[in-house]
Amino acid sequence: MLGPIIVGDRVRLVPPTEDMIPIFCSWFADTEVTKFLNIRFPPSLSAEKEWFDRVSRSNEDVLWAVTLEDKLIGTTGIHQIDWRNRHAITGNLIGDKSEWGKGYASEVVALRTRFAFESLGLEKLKSQVFSGNLASRKVLEKAGYRLCGTFRREAFIDGHWYDSWLFEILREEWLQIQSME
């Protein structure tokens, strides 16, 4: 399903539209953008449209486009929602490299996490980060996610092995963080 509009201090999470798909494809064609994603070959426009259609109809996914004013800068989502056990996998991408390092991902993760716990009633969120992606690790830790495990040598990228760090945050941990702000 497509997520509702969520307005943050600097970014907005909005339902993605089909006209955004070519921009997504251009991000996935950039190996610097996809270095720490599990994408080795960029999807075709038709494959990305099929993925978008599937996720739009899914009851186990919530997808947003990330915008800065009217500029599309990324995507974020809650995926593989297990409604019975109330947990899901999260991820985000700031695909516009000119917006890297400006703190937008931290705001995106905070907004997405709030929605997952307050609106969806989830109990736990999980995320994975390859060990070379220190910026993403910092974003998750800033939002209260905790390192809970490591898959060693999980990805072979540019001639090097990278571990996959496993992060999670529980609803009660998130509530505690909110009460301290």
Indicate the pTM of the whole model: 0.91
What pLDDT does 42 receive?
83
What pLDDT does 118 receive?
97
What residues pair up with 74 in beta bridges, in sequence order? 66, 94
Q: What is the spatial distance between Cα 75 and Cα 92, in angstroms, rounded to a whole number? A: 6
Whether 167 shows a pLDDT value over 90: the answer reads yes
What pLDDT does 37 receive?
84
Q: Is residue 1 part of a domain?
A: no
- Residue 44: what residue type? S
What pLDDT does 181 receive?
73
Which two three-digit tokens encode residue 165? 């760090």
Q: CATH number, domain at 26?
A: 3.40.630.30
Whether 152 shows a pLDDT value over 90: the answer reads yes
> For the chain, where are the E strands, in sequence order?
6-7, 12-14, 62-68, 71-82, 87-94, 124-130, 146-157, 160-170
User: Structurally, how many domains does the chain consist of?
Assistant: 1
What pLDDT does 180 receive?
83
What lies within 8 Å, CB to CB, of 1 at 6+ separation is 55, 56, 57, 58, 59, 61, 62, 63
**With contact defined as beta carbons under 8 Å apart, do 122 and 171 qualify?**
yes
Closest residue by Cα to residue 20 from 76, 55, 65, 62: 65
Structural domain including 134 reads 6-180
Q: What is the spatial distance between Cα 128 and Cα 133, in angstroms, rounded to a whole number? A: 10
Q: Is residue 47 part of a domain?
A: yes
Q: Is residue 73 part of a domain?
A: yes
At residue 66's C-alpha, the angle toward residues 48 and 140, to 5°, is: 100
